[in-house]
Each structure stands twice: as structure tokens, then as C-alpha cells.
């Protein structure tokens, strides 16, 4: 309580209550204010980030849901842009076109992408050549999607003197999907524990069996997730299709002919002065976003079942 | 003695075949990727040559007039338009993205973290054409009065103030781009922040730092390189973004006089004009594509170097760091002795 | 062995006049192998099972001889010239402090060392008059003849218990004409050989990774046994296990050595004393001393050995 006898050295006045003790160590009001301010700003920033999402979804549903009807999904657009709703048609060819073009793109990009990823992880590893490939794959990731369209245009339309076709759009999209598939597959393959490969090798398995029977099955859920996300990305792309698959109104199963697609259809309709056409664009946009969200959802569910990270 | 059918002598060439096929087949595939890109570049340059020959390379890049009818192809308004919108995207998008990352990693209650992460990633799921649609019909009209107010109040500042606000304009394009790059910048920022060793954070907190002070001293400096790298990846994305920008930026042939007026960008010009372009015009558009490609290439290379350098401090491979050195799956399991 | 030479039959089970005491070990195993978990499918199936069990019983391991073995990681020499012999059907323990190169050396025997990028080995490893490093030898086949059990049990996560054991047979190159029944017999024999059959017979389809640590390690041993190797290398197989599981595996090693030659790397000297017939002591990549286990621990020839086994270092 009071200072002890003369033996103890002189020191600052001892605090007599808890409050005073803690007060010595308390955070100054200025610091506390700064902390609160900073936290407030950070939370505000986060909220700002979420606002567009809410607004986009809300407006999309508000403007688009009204267009949804059985006819909407089962009639082709008529190409009429000046008349009332009934004569402008629906978006059937757009939906089917997207399904066809993206499916072909996936069939091309997935085997090649997974093959390159397997090579990178199992054979190339850290060699100079492998790192060069990785570098170029990264380069490919950054290429604007419209440039892919230009490239296919140069090679397959100018180069061969032929015209637009659905499969050319697929090729442009597969170029876009390739780096995404390669990177996500590589990440997953790297997560497969080395001990697994070792055990298989130690049993006297040839390398190709180790890869095909042990590594790939273990990595499968993760790779499926990556593939689905790549497909979702490709489904939403417009620019690569503008000068490759171009657009048409009729539904066609022929990938060698002009083919419609949802993003291109929306793009065409956006600039129309006719309200009903714009409404169709909203309906198509809602459809497209719904498709992509479903793919994302499935991808997430599958990744939960993955035994790797 | 080994039993008969398990001699350990040479396997028949047939049995060795699958191994060889797999190895060389896949190597060829990887080489194919390289060849593709080189081929890509060469063809693009080839198609652009006429335009460069017509104007000269510098003429192409620095003339401020993109006039199709008079065959004048100065791409300056396009390049600057691209830079302005992307710069705006960074200015608005990066702080918000970093704030989101900080919140998610450091301040957010644990059970909300996954939900928050998913919501931000959903922004990336929206296709660009839908952003364009939403931008031109919802965002731009809603913002117009505000923009007009700003332009009137700040008329003394060149480029921002004065003039009338048009619906397609630079600002809305920049804003939409900011929204579009949010997910990727935020994801990278989050990943880099997650690699901060908890010792550093605990040391700061143990010294009696407030939460913000801890973030400011232990987390952010550690992540600086990575965040800059992430921002540059966002920049690369913004530069190349085509459709959303095309819809909301307009098509001014010369450099717009102010922020809230119509503009143009490299990607937008290609999207708008390629359909009907012929001859020299088409070549000029290819040249614009080439400039776009080179620009994104440079930005992305720089970004990768930064992100990889930052990510190497951590230990787990991530999606952003797929390029940062491959793993050695077998070596990893071997103990020293 | 069985009273009647041919056709093979489980006569002992059916003939009550045979004195149980006089049954040989092989007969007992034949009985065990042919005691059906499911109803017997007929004489020939039982007989074939007995044959398989008998064949497994009578198989002798092979000896291994290292001559001037050196192992490198890039430029760095980790194993510096080792001459060592492992006698057939014996257990040899390799002991030594951390980092002395014992794991590296053992991995050279089944040529796993070279799987590490930049690593290579020199010298000869003789498996019954054949150098496994000879260019004409197929490395994949070497690994079938020389199996390996790792420190951390690692059954394949995507496979059931049955598939794990069968994986060695399915993955190995060569003809895969394993009929279903043939496969079942081999899996059962391997699981019995690993002392795991009784515990998993009713859940062969359960995931391999769902077993306890000790069971997983015995599953890995069964997996290696299924391909019928001559030698099994064990790299600190018990260091991740609890004492009871460890004991079970040490008992297993006693049994296994009748069929295969065993080399076991261990940092636990008591374990070496318990299971090994001979022990080799390594230090800094060199072989210091090798001899009967008892001698190494009670009257080591080299002073370094003595310091290590008395715990002065390591």
C-alpha cells in the first residue's frame, strides 16, 4: 500500500487501484479512433464490393424474368427487330448454339489441357523447358478474348478462304479454355501426395500405369471442378465468337455453318431501339447467368468431395 | 530362385511402348502450345503490316484520329481510352478489393468467411456481356445526374469538369471494369495475406497493437509485392476486356474531351468495326489487336513475376502461382537419411 | 505332404484319423487357406487354394549383395561406397544416426533413389548373381522382385482393402490375366501373410484408408507381399505407429522372413535387437560395422559403433 521502508529504491508512485494500473497500459484515444476508422473503412469497402453483385442479380431478375416463357425457349429469334413481342421470336437457337459450341470447345480443350498438365507435373517437373511452357501458358491466360477470335479468323477464315462456322467459334473458345484447364489441373496434380506415386512405383508399376491408375483417379474430383469452371467461363464469352461463329437466327445442328449463341444474341440485341428486343436480351442474359451459376454450383459441390485440398 | 515368369531381365519392347508413347506424346503436346503462341504472334504481325506501312508505326500509335472514312488510322484515342478506363478501374477497384481481402482474412467472423469469399467470386461468374447490358441500362442512367453534378461542381478541373455528360462515357466504363477486376485482385490479395506467418501477427498483437496497427505493420508490408502483382493482373484483365467496355463507352473517333463523355478503346474498336472492315481498315484493326496483345503481354509478365516472387514466400501451390516452379512429387516424400 | 499325392485335396480336414500333432506347418497353412470364409466351391478350388498357400510357404527369399554402392544427390555424395551382404531369409537391420544415409542406401536397392530428379547411384547391387543396375535389366521388374514398405502407411485412398492388396498385381506390368478367383486367392494369401486377414475378412470392400494406423501398415505389407517378392525393404516401418501395432509388425517380421529376405532401416536400437539376425551400423554414408545382432550390441568391434549403441550420440 504505502511505499516500503528505506531499503527499497525510490520508484514511481505505485498504482493503488486496478483502474490506474490498466490506465498506464491503455490504448490512447487517438490510436483507438484510428483503429475504428480504419476498420470502418475496410468494412465499408467490403460492403461496396458486394453492392454491384446484389444490384446486378436484382436487376437481371427484375428485367429478365418477365421474358421467360415456354415460347421464349422454344422459338428462334426471327431477326425482326422492329415489331412487337410476338414477332421477334425467342432464343432457342441461341441456347442450343451455346450448348453445341461450348461442348465442342470442351471436348477439344479438356484432353489437351489435362495432357499438358500431366506432362508438366510428371515429366517436365522443374526443367527449363517445363518452366518455359508454364510461362507461355501464363501468357495465354492474359490474352484478351477478342484476340483469340482474331487469331482463328486469320488462320481459318482468311487463311482458308472459307466463311464463319460454329466449330471455328469452338476452336477460339478452346484456346481460351486451355490455359485455365492446364493451370487448375496442374495445381490439383501437384496436391497428389508424392508418397502415393512412390508406393505404386515401388510395387513395380510402370510409370504410365502410375499416372493413369493412381494419380489421375485421385486427382479426378479436383480436375472436374477446374474443368467445369473453365466451361462456365467459356460459355459467357462473346468476343471470340463475333468473327468466328458469327450469328444467325436459325437453330442448326451443323457446326460447320453459322451458329448463334447466347452471348452474341444478347450483344446484338443490346443496341436495338425496340423495347421488346431489349427485353429479350434481358431474358437471354438471365438464362445465361442461370446456366453459369448452375455450373459453378456443381463445381463447388464436387470439389467438396475431393480428398485433396 | 526366381519363379519362371518373373525374370527380371529386359521387358519386351512392346511392354515398354505405353511408357514411351505417353512420355513423348505429352511432350509433343507441351511443345505444341509453344509453337501455337509463336505462330499466333507471327500471323498477327503479318496481318497488321499494311496498316503500319501506311501510317508508320509511330503514326499509327500517336495520331489522334481514327477516321475510317478518310482512311486515317491514328490509334492514339484508342490507346489512351484503354489506359484511361483501365487506370480508372485500378483506382477504384484495387482499394476496394484489398479492403475486402483484409476484411475476409483479418476481421471477418469465421463462419461468414466462406460466404463472403463465394460472393466475391460470383462477381467473376457474370459474363461481360451481361455487365455491359446492366451498365448501359441501369448503371449509366442512374449515375448520370451524379456525374453531371460532379462535372458542374468541378468545372475548374480539366477533363473532369465542364461539358455535358453522355450516357456512354469513360467513367462508367472504368467503373464497370473496376467491378470486373474485383474478384481476381481480391483473390490474390487474400492468398498472399494468408501466407503471412502468424508469428509476425502475434508479435504485433503481443506488443499491444490494435487490430488495425497489426494489419498495417505486420500484414500489409509483407504482402506489398503480391498485392501489386495482383493489381497488375487486374490491369491486364481490364486492358483486354472487350464487350462490356464496348457497350458502355461509345465510339468517339478522337480522344474524348472529358471523363464523362464518349470514348473508345482498342478492344472496343475491334468489336465494333471488324464485321464490315475491308482491306486497309481491317489491317488497322489487326494492328490494334497486336497493340492490345503486346500491351497485355507486358503487363501480365510483370504481374506474374511479382506474384510469383511474393508467393514463393509461402509454401503451398495456389492457383495464382501455378507458374512458380513445378513440384517434385516424388522427391517431396523422401526423408534425408 | 498330404497323405494322397494326387489329386490334391484337403484330406487332413476330412480324415479324422490323422494325428493333428503330426501335421507339418505347410499342411496347417493349407488347412487355414482352404478353410472357407464363404462356402467351399468344390474340391478343385480348395485344392488350388491349398496349392497356393503351400507354394507361398515353400518360397525362399534371395540374398542381396551390395558392391561399392555410392549414391548421389546431384553432386553431393550421400552414400560413399558400401559393400554389404544380406543373406537369404534373414532379417538385417540398418542402424545409424539421422542423416547417415541408411534410407538412401536402402532406396538404391530397389532403384527408387533414381526417381528423385538429379539423383543417381553407382556400383552394383546383386540379386542372386544379377546386377539390378545392369542396363539390360528392367527397373520396373526389379521393383516387383524387391518390395518396399514405407515409413508412413500409405494405402491408396481411392481403393478398398481388397483393391489395395490387389493393386500390386494389377499395376505391375506383364500379362494381366488374373482371373477373379486367382486374384481372390492371392489377396487372401497376402492378407494372411501380413496377419491382417482375420481383421478385415468381413470388410474387404471398405476403404483402405479407413483402417487404423497399424492395420494400414500391415495392409501395405500385404500389398507388397501380393506380388511375391524375394526381398522386402522396410524403411522405418514402425516409427509412425503405437507400441502395440509395432509389436504386431515385429512378430510379423519373424514370420515373413521364412518367405522373403528382409532389410529393415530403424532408428530404434531395441527394435533392431528384437527382430534382426544381423545388424549393420552406418555413419556419414559409410558402413562402419556389420555382424550378428548380438555381437554388434554386446561386443562391437569399432569404437564408433560402441559409442552409438551405448547412446553417446545419435
- C161 touches C203 (CB < 8 A): yes
The pLDDT value given to residue A309: 53
pLDDT tens by residue, B62-84:
777 777 666 667 778 888 889 88
Give the Cβ contact number of residue C6 at 10 Å: 7
Give the neighbor-by-neighbor strand order of the sheet with C278-283.
C146-149, C231-235, C261-265, C91-95, C278-283, C286-292
- B150 touches B159 (CB < 8 A): no
- B233 touches B311 (CB < 8 A): no
Q: Which residues of C204-229 are buried (b: 16+ CB within 10 A; e: fewer)?
A: beebbbebeebbbbbbbbbbbbbbbb
In whole angstroms, what is the distance from residue A112 CA to residue A227 CA? 12
In whole angstroms, what is the distance from residue C12 CA to residue A202 CA? 39
The pLDDT value given to residue B185: 94
- Confidence band for B9, pLDDT divided at 50, 70 and 90: low
Given a cut of 80, is residue B240 above it in pLDDT?
yes
C121 Rama sector, left if φ>0, alpha if ψ -120 to 50, beta otherwise: beta
Q: Name which of A55, A126, A147 is nearest B293 (Cβ-Cβ).
A: A147
Inter-chain Cβ pairs, chain B and chain C, closer than 8 A? 62
Of A20-29, B7-16, C135-144, C173-182, the poorest mean pLDDT is in B7-16
The residue written with cell numbers 492446364 in the block is A182
Instruction: Give the number of residues written for chain C.
Output: 314
The pLDDT value given to residue A83: 59
The listed range with the strongest mean pLDDT (B91-105, B303-317, C154-168, C173-187) is B91-105
User: Given a contact as 3+ CB pairs under 8 Å, which chains touch A?
Assistant: B, C
Q: At what angle do helices B220-240 and B76-102 cross, to 10 degrees?
A: 140
Whether chain A has a CB inside 8 Å of the CB on C157: the answer is yes
The pLDDT value given to residue B329: 31
Contact residues, chain A, for B213 at CB < 8 Å: 31, 34-35
Q: How far is CA A177 from CA A30, B101, B125, in A?
A: 52, 27, 15
CA atoms within 13 A of residue B75's CA, in its CB half-sphere:
30
Residue B328 Cα, gap to closest chain C Cα (Å): 8
- For chain C, give the mean pLDDT: 82
Give the Cβ contact number of residue A14 at 10 Å: 11
pLDDT tens by residue, B93-138:
999 999 999 999 888 888 888 899 989 989 999 999 999 999 999 9
In whole angstroms, what is the distance from residue C145 CA to residue C168 CA? 12
Average pLDDT over residues C167-195: 80
Average pLDDT over residues C106-118: 90
* Residues paired with residue C70 on neighbouring β-strands, in sequence order: C80, C122
Contact residues, chain C, for B337 at CB < 8 Å: 96-104
pLDDT tens by residue, C282-300:
999 999 999 999 999 999 8
The listed range with the strongest mean pLDDT (B42-46, B56-60, C287-291) is C287-291
Closest chain A residue to C116 measured between Cα atoms?
A198
User: Given a contact as 3+ CB pairs under 8 Å, which chains touch C?
Assistant: A, B
The pLDDT value given to residue C17: 47
Whether chain B has a CB inside 8 Å of the CB on A33: the answer is no
How many Å is the Cα radius of gyration of chain C? 21
Asked if the Cβ–Cβ distance from C98 to B337 is below 8 Å, we say: yes
β-pairing, C286-292 vs C91-95, is unpaired
Q: Name which of B5, B9, B336 is nearest C137 (Cβ-Cβ).
A: B9
In whole angstroms, what is the distance from residue B59 CA to residue C30 CA? 92
User: How is residue C293 written as a grid cell?
Assistant: 545382432
Which ranges of chain B would DSSP assign to H, the alpha helix?
13-55, 57-62, 76-102, 110-125, 128-134, 140-153, 170-194, 198-206, 211-214, 220-240, 243-249, 266-273, 279-311
Asked if the Cβ–Cβ distance from A213 to C173 is below 8 Å, we say: no
Given a cut of 70, is residue B156 above it in pLDDT?
yes
- Say if residue C65 is exposed, middle or buried (CB neighbours under 10 Å; 0-12, 13-18, 19+): middle
Whether chain A has a CB inside 8 Å of the CB on B138: the answer is yes
User: How is residue A3 written as a grid cell?
Assistant: 511505499
- B167 touches B136 (CB < 8 A): yes
Contact residues, chain A, for B297 at CB < 8 Å: 139, 142-143
The listed range with the strongest mean pLDDT (A140-144, A151-155, A214-218) is A214-218
Inter-chain Cβ pairs, chain A and chain B, closer than 8 A? 288
In whole angstroms, what is the distance from residue A69 CA to residue A53 CA? 25
- Confidence band for B327, pLDDT divided at 50, 70 and 90: very low
Asked if the Cβ–Cβ distance from A205 to C110 is below 8 Å, we say: no
Average pLDDT over residues A274-291: 89
Average pLDDT over residues A200-206: 89
Asked if the Cβ–Cβ distance from C152 to A195 is below 8 Å, we say: yes
The pLDDT value given to residue A170: 92
Given a cut of 70, is residue A66 above it in pLDDT?
yes
End-to-end CA distance of chain A: 59
Asked if the Cβ–Cβ distance from C98 to B11 is below 8 Å, we say: no
Contact residues, chain B, for C173 at CB < 8 Å: 11, 15
Average pLDDT over residues A121-134: 87
Asked if the Cβ–Cβ distance from A270 to B327 is below 8 Å, we say: no
The pLDDT value given to residue B197: 85
- Confidence band for C8, pLDDT divided at 50, 70 and 90: very low
Residue of B318 and B26 predicted with greater confidence = B26
In whole angstroms, what is the distance from residue C146 CA to residue C224 CA? 9
- Say if residue B301 is exposed, middle or buried (CB neighbours under 10 Å; 0-12, 13-18, 19+): middle
* Nearest residue to C258 (alpha-carbon basis) of C91, C146, C92: C91
Residue of A167 and A255 predicted with greater confidence = A167
Asked if the Cβ–Cβ distance from C138 to B6 is below 8 Å, we say: no
- Confidence band for C62, pLDDT divided at 50, 70 and 90: confident
The pLDDT value given to residue C6: 41
Mutation target to probe the B interface, by most B beta carbons within 10 A, among A118, A131, A147, A294 is A147
User: How is residue B194 written as a grid cell?
Assistant: 494468408
- Confidence band for C181, pLDDT divided at 50, 70 and 90: confident
What single DSSP character describes residue C208? G
Helix, strand, or coil (residue C91): strand
- C73 touches B336 (CB < 8 A): no
Given a cut of 80, is residue B192 above it in pLDDT?
yes
Mutation target to probe the A interface, by most A beta carbons within 10 A, among B294, B329, B330 is B329
Given a cut of 50, is residue C105 above it in pLDDT?
yes
Given a cut of 60, is residue B172 above it in pLDDT?
yes
Give Cα B188 to chain centroid, integer Å.
12
In whole angstroms, what is the distance from residue A23 CA to residue A26 CA? 5
β-pairing, C286-292 vs C278-283, is antiparallel
* Residues paired with residue C278 on neighbouring β-strands, in sequence order: C92, C292
Backbone angles phi, psi at C223, to 5 degrees: -60, -45
- Sign of torsion over alpha carbons C102, C107, C110, C114: negative
Residue of B128 and B307 predicted with greater confidence = B128
Closest chain B residue to A56 measured between Cα atoms?
B134
- C164 touches C155 (CB < 8 A): yes
Asked if the Cβ–Cβ distance from C150 to A198 is below 8 Å, we say: yes
* Nearest residue to A241 (alpha-carbon basis) of A76, A52, A105, A114: A105
User: How is residue C11 written as a grid cell?
Assistant: 484330406
In whole angstroms, what is the distance from residue B233 CA to residue B239 CA? 10
CA atoms within 13 A of residue B197's CA, in its CB half-sphere:
6
Helix, strand, or coil (residue A21): helix
Whether chain B has a CB inside 8 Å of the CB on A273: the answer is no
Residue A150 Cα, gap to closest chain C Cα (Å): 41
Of A205-209, C3-7, C72-76, the poorest mean pLDDT is in C3-7
**ipTM associated with this complex:** 0.84
In whole angstroms, what is the distance from residue A133 CA to residue B43 CA? 20
Give the Cβ contact number of residue C246 at 10 Å: 19
* Residues paired with residue C264 on neighbouring β-strands, in sequence order: C93, C234
Residue C7 Cα, gap to closest chain A Cα (Å): 35
Given a cut of 50, is residue B149 above it in pLDDT?
yes
Given a cut of 50, is residue A237 above it in pLDDT?
yes
The pLDDT value given to residue B3: 41
- For chain A, give the mean pLDDT: 84
Q: Name which of C99, C136, C144 is nearest B6 (Cβ-Cβ).
A: C144
- For chain B, give the mean pLDDT: 80
Neighbouring residues of A220: CB distance < 8 A, sequence distance ≥ 6 = none
Asked if the Cβ–Cβ distance from C140 to A307 is below 8 Å, we say: no
Asked if the Cβ–Cβ distance from A202 to C142 is below 8 Å, we say: no
The listed range with the strongest mean pLDDT (A242-251, B216-225, C24-33, C118-127) is C118-127
Average pLDDT over residues C185-210: 90
Mutation target to probe the C interface, by most C beta carbons within 10 A, among A199, A204, A211, A219 is A204
Given a cut of 70, is residue C52 above it in pLDDT?
no
pLDDT tens by residue, C212-254:
989 999 999 999 999 889 999 999 999 989 999 999 999 999 9
User: How is residue C167 written as a grid cell?
Assistant: 493393386
In whole angstroms, what is the distance from residue B220 CA to residue B105 CA? 12
Given a cut of 50, is residue B324 above it in pLDDT?
no
Instruction: Give the number of residues written for chain A.
Output: 309
* Nearest residue to C262 (alpha-carbon basis) of C154, C172, C149: C149
Asked if the Cβ–Cβ distance from B336 to C98 is below 8 Å, we say: yes
CA atoms within 13 A of residue C219's CA, in its CB half-sphere:
32
- C149 touches C235 (CB < 8 A): yes
Contact residues, chain B, for A118 at CB < 8 Å: 26
Q: What is the dihedral of CA A174, A178, A184, A185, to 10 degrees?
A: 100
Of A88-92, A190-194, B44-48, C18-22, the poorest mean pLDDT is in C18-22
The pLDDT value given to residue B331: 30
Q: What is the dihedral of CA A108, A112, A113, A119, to 10 degrees?
A: 170
pLDDT over 70 percentage in chain A = 88
Asked if the Cβ–Cβ distance from A142 to B297 is below 8 Å, we say: yes
What single DSSP character describes residue C137? B
- C167 touches C159 (CB < 8 A): yes
Amino acid at each position: 500500500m504505502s511505499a516500503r521502508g528505506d531499503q527499497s529504491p525510490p520508484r514511481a508512485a505505485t498504482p493503488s487501484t486496478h483502474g490506474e494500473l490498466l490506465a498506464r497500459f491503455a490504448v490512447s484515444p487517438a490510436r483507438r479512433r484510428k483503429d475504428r476508422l480504419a476498420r470502418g473503412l475496410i468494412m465499408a469497402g467490403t460492403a461496396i464490393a458486394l453492392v454491384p453483385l446484389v444490384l446486378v442479380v436484382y436487376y437481371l431478375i427484375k428485367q429478365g424474368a418477365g421474358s421467360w416463357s415456354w415460347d421464349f425457349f422454344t422459338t428462334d429469334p426471327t431477326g425482326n427487330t422492329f415489331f412487337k413481342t410476338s414477332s421477334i421470336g425467342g432464343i432457342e437457337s441461341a441456347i442450343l448454339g451455346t450448348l453445341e459450341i461450348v461442348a465442342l470447345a470442351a471436348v477439344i480443350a479438356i484432353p489437351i489441357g489435362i495432357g499438358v498438365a500431366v506432362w508438366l507435373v510428371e515429366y517436365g517437373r522443374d526443367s527449363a523447358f517445363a518452366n518455359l511452357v508454364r510461362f507461355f501458358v501464363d501468357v495465354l491466360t492474359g490474352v484478351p478474348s477478342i484476340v483469340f477470335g482474331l487469331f482463328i479468323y486469320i488462320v481459318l477464315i482468311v487463311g482458308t478462304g472459307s466463311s464463319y462456322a460454329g466449330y471455328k467459334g469452338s476452336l477460339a473458345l478452346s484456346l481460351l479454355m486451355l490455359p485455365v484447364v492446364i493451370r487448375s489441373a496442374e495445381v490439383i496434380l501437384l496436391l497428389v501426395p508424392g508418397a502415393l506415386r512412390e508406393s505404386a512405383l515401388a510395387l513395380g508399376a510402370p510409370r504410365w500405369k502410375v499416372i493413369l491408375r493412381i494419380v489421375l483417379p485421385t486427382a479426378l474430383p479436383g480436375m472436374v471442378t477446374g474443368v467445369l469452371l473453365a466451361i462456365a467461363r467459356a460459355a459467357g464469352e462473346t468476343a471470340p465468337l463475333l468473327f468466328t461463329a458469327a450469328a444467325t437466327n436459325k437453330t442448326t445442328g451443323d457446326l460447320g455453318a453459322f451458329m448463334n449463341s447466347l452471348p452474341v444474341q444478347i450483344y446484338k440485341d443490346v443496341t436495338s431501339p425496340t423495347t421488346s428486343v431489349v427485353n429479350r436480351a434481358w431474358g437471354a442474359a438471365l438464362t445465361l447467368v442461370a446456366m453459369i451459376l448452375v455450373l459453378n454450383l456443381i463445381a463447388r459441390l464436387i470439389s467438396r468431395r475431393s480428398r485433396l485440398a | 530362385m526366381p519363379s519362371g515368369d518373373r525374370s527380371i531381365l529386359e521387358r519386351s519392347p512392346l511392354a515398354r511402348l505405353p511408357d514411351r508413347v505417353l512420355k513423348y506424346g505429352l511432350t509433343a503436346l507441351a511443345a505444341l502450345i509453344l509453337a501455337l503462341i509463336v505462330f499466333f504472334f507471327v500471323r498477327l504481325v503479318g496481318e497488321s503490316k499494311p496498316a503500319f506501312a501506311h501510317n508508320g508505326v509511330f503514326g499509327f500509335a500517336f495520331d489522334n484520329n481514327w477516321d475510317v472514312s478518310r482512311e486515317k488510322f491514328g490509334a492514339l484515342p484508342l490507346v489512351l481510352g484503354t489506359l484511361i478506363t483501365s487506370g480508372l478501374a485500378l483506382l477504384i477497384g484495387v482499394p476496394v478489393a484489398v479492403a475486402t481481402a483484409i476484411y475476409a482474412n483479418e476481421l471477418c467472423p469465421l463462419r461468414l468467411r466462406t460466404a463472403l469469399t463465394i460472393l466475391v467470386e460470383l462477381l467473376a461468374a457474370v459474363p461481360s456481356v451481361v455487365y455491359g447490358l446492366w451498365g448501359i441500362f441501369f448503371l449509366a442512367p442512374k449515375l448520370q445526374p451524379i456525374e453531371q453534378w460532379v462535372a458542374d461542381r468541378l468545372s475548374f478541373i480539366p477533363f473532369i469538369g465542364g461539358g455535358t455528360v453522355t450516357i456512354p462515357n469513360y467513367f462508367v466504363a472504368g467503373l464497370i471494369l473496376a467491378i470486373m477486376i474485383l474478384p481476381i485482385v481480391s483473390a490474390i490479395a487474400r492468398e498472399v495475406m494468408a501466407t503471412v506467418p502468424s508469428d509476425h501477427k502475434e508479435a504485433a498483437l503481443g506488443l499491444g497493437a490494435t487490430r488495425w496497427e497489426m494489419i498495417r505493420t505486420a500484414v500489409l508490408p509483407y504482402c506489398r509485392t503480391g498485392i501489386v502483382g495482383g493489381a497488375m493482373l487486374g490491369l491486364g484483365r481490364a486492358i483486354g476486356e472487350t464487350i462490356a467496355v464496348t457497350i458502355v463507352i461509345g465510339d468517339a473517333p478522337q480522344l474524348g474531351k472529358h471523363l464523362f463523355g464518349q470514348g473508345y478503346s482498342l478492344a472496343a474498336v475491334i468489336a465494333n468495326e471488324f464485321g464490315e472492315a475491308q482491306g486497309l481498315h481491317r489491317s488497322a484493326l489487326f494492328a490494334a489487336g497486336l497493340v492490345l496483345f503486346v500491351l497485355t503481354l507486358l503487363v501480365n509478365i510483370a504481374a506474374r513475376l511479382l506474384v510469383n516472387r511474393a508467393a514463393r514466400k509461402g509454401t503451398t501451390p495456389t492457383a495464382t502461382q501455378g507458374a512458380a516452379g513445378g513440384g517434385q512429387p516424388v522427391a517431396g516424400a523422401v526423408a534425408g537419411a | 505332404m498330404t497323405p494322397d499325392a494326387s489329386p490334391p485335396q484337403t484330406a487332413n480336414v476330412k480324415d479324422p484319423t490323422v494325428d493333428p500333432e503330426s501335421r507339418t506347418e505347410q499342411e496347417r497353412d493349407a488347412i487355414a487357406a482352404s478353410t472357407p470364409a464363404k462356402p467351399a466351391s468344390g474340391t478343385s478350388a480348395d485344392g488350388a487354394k491349398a496349392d497356393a498357400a503351400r507354394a507361398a510357404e515353400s518360397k525362399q527369399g534371395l540374398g542381396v549383395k551390395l558392391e561399392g554402392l555410392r549414391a548421389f544427390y546431384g553432386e553431393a555424395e550421400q552414400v560413399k561406397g558400401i559393400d554389404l551382404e544380406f543373406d537369404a531369409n534373414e532379417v538385417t537391420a540398418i542402424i545409424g544416426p539421422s542423416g547417415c544415409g541408411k534410407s538412401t542406401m536402402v532406396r538404391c536397392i530397389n532403384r527408387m533413389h533414381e526417381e528423385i530428379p538429379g539423383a543417381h547411384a553407382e556400383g552394383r547391387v546383386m540379386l542372386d548373381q544379377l546386377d539390378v543396375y545392369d542396363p539390360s535389366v528392367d527397373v520396373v521388374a526389379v521393383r516387383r522382385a524387391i518390395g518396399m514398405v514405407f515409413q508412413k502407411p500409405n494405402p491408396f485412398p481411392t481403393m478398398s482393402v481388397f483393391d489395395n492388396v490387389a493393386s500390386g498385381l494389377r499395376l505391375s506390368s506383364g500379362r494381366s490375366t488374373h482371373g477373379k478367383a486367382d486374384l481372390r486367392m492371392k489377396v487372401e494369401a497376402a492378407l494372411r501373410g501380413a496377419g491382417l486377414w482375420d481383421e478385415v475378412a468381413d470388410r474387404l470392400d471398405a476403404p483402405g484408408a479407413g483402417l487404423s494406423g497399424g492395420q494400414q501398415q500391415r495392409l501395405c505389407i500385404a500389398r507388397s507381399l501380393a506380388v511375391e517378392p524375394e526381398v522386402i525393404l522396410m524403411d522405418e516401418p514402425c516409427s509412425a505407429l503405437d507400441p502395440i501395432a509395432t509389436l504386431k509388425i515385429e512378430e510379423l517380421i519373424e514370420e515373413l522372413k521364412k518367405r522373403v529376405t528382409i532389410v529393415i532401416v530403424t532408428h530404434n536400437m531395441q527394435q533392431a535387437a528384437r527382430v534382426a539376425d544381423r545388424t549393420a551400423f552406418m555413419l556419414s554414408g559409410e558402413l562402419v560395422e556389420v555382424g550378428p545382432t548380438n555381437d554388434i550390441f554386446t561386443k562391437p568391434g569399432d569404437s564408433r559403433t560402441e559409442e552409438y549403441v551405448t547412446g553417446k550420440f545419435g
